[in-house]
Structure 1
């Protein structure tokens, strides 16, 4: 497929915008509705968009690895729970910055799980990235009490979500060896909807009209973001447009400022710059390493299916 950098970058920026909207709406509903109820509606209302993506190719549900799909869905559901918990309690920009640690955890977890040996460049990027995490933590006073209105454990949950996201990506890469990205996405949507439906009768809180509108929008915007991201990675190389995904920090900051009166602090901006810089460093290193096109496409499929 022709490499169209401008189109890919524009689509990825748009996908990041809709993802930020999803987090903002989850923050609104998270104060009144149970986490699992929010995630159920997110998966339910995003399912039509998953079908839209899958319909562009031959839809295949048959799989020889049901346990792999189940494990991937458990990781994905755990990550979604962590996102809702953290966005409900943290400023949107802070949660967004913590989510960018996923590539750093991917490098660390690849050693024991995939038996990979990181290059010196990757080690340098990981060191810089986690230095950014420390800067954010120190700026918020997390390491010495901090603001009582923002619990320190919420930052730990946001950071742990980066590790869970890395595990999810690794599981998808393993599934991609035998499964198509659309098959992975369809099984994810079905399993996660089913898993969140099970506890629903026991935790159900009847949403008010505003909350119901937000829940529908959460699912629709999550689905739109997935479609846009799929189109972005189909339009251009991942290593070329990957840095544009960090525009999510801008959108999260704008939404947090104008809707939740959240003003990003100097420490958050400085730490975010270090974390984002480390991610861009790794992307550029991957590009300069001139990995085979087939490997790059597999990585793109994993990232697409992980959303």
Structure 2
């Protein structure tokens, strides 16, 4: 008796699952940004960032312990420590920027991180920079200027905006270097272990500054922070699941749906309007990223 041929509909559904998971993960992380902006405005970016890291670690750590994989080797732990330190200040500077800038604007400008990562990969990994990567970087830079120029043209460029942009660029630089560390990490450890040490070490590093920056969290901020911690873990795991089942080059464009989510959540949470320069600048940045990542 012959085996029935697999259903074309079933195969198509299976192929679409990684894309659906990636889109869900990006949506989770964009919603997390909205909750974190709300919490940071209430109780301060430092306190909100520390508590989010600790909540995330408390959620994911039991899964890592349950798997009983043992403590990472010294070399792997050094990678966890390096990324934990980087991500701690990356997150703090990004969430601080959210208190100064509209959500969609901040997400759009943060898209320059993959373009910066191309140059870090050249310096740190010895990868060749192709001409298309240079073109992509130019488009990304022009897109950022368009967004900033739109603010200047509308007379909304004040000291708070400048501080937010400086913090966001600093975060994007750390995020770009973070890509290099993630690449090394992913070859030595699984996603549950990476997520556990990422949140745990990041929170522990930031706690060192509690005597200088810490404040007693406002009760109204606790629910948004808890939601942000849970969404961080859910988003990271969904994206890790997707990238394990589909090529990165196919999934990368889904990352840019974060701008659409940010526009929606920025309006729903804070009644932030999306300006035409922001849309135009985002289109240039995304075009640059697409040119850089396509074969």
Task: Provide the TM-score with structure 1 as the length reference.
Answer: 0.83
Determine which of 78, 81, 84 is the counterpart of 1:73.
84
Aligned to 1:64: 74
Cα distance in 1 for partners of 2:167, 2:208 equals 24
Aligned to 1:219: 229
Cα distance in 1 for partners of 2:245, 2:189 equals 22
Cα distance in 1 for partners of 2:224, 2:188 equals 37
1:124 aligns with 2:135: yes
Q: Tell me which moved more, 176-185 or 7-16.
A: 176-185
Cα distance in 1 for partners of 2:67, 2:110 equals 31
Cα distance in 1 for partners of 2:291, 2:62 equals 34
Cα distance in 2 for partners of 1:276, 1:56 equals 40
Segments of 5+ residues of structure 2 without an aligned counterpart are 1-10
Q: Tell me which moved more, 269-278 or 187-196.
A: 187-196
Aligned to 1:103: 114
- Report the alpha carbon displacement of residue 57 of structure 1 after superposing the two structures with TM: 6.3
Aligned to 2:4: none
Query: Do 2:57 and 2:197's aligned partners in 1 also have CA atoms closer than 8 Å?
Result: no
Structure 1 residues 67-117: Cα deviation after superposition (integer angstroms, max 9, x where no partner): 433222111111101111111110000010111111110112222222222
Cα distance in 1 for partners of 2:185, 2:121 equals 16
Which residues of 2 match residues 255-274 of structure 1 at below 5 A?
Answer: 255-274=265-284
- RMSD between superposed Cα atoms in Å: 2.5
Segments of 5+ residues of structure 1 without an aligned counterpart are 286-307
Q: Tell me which moved more, 18-27 or 84-93.
A: 18-27
- Residues paired across the two proteins, number: 283
Q: Are the structure 2 counterparts of residues 258 and 40 from structure 1 closer, same or farther at C-alpha, using a change threshold of 3 Å?
A: same
Which residues of 2 match residues 150-169 of structure 1 at below 5 A?
Answer: 150-169=160-179
Aligned to 1:292: none
- Largest Rg, 1 or 2: 2
Cα distance in 2 for partners of 1:55, 1:233 equals 23
1:271 is paired with a residue whose SS is helix
Cα distance in 2 for partners of 1:40, 1:231 equals 26
Cα distance in 2 for partners of 1:112, 1:208 equals 44
Task: Provide the TM-score with structure 2 as the length reference.
Answer: 0.86
Q: Tell me which moved more, 201-210 or 153-162.
A: 201-210
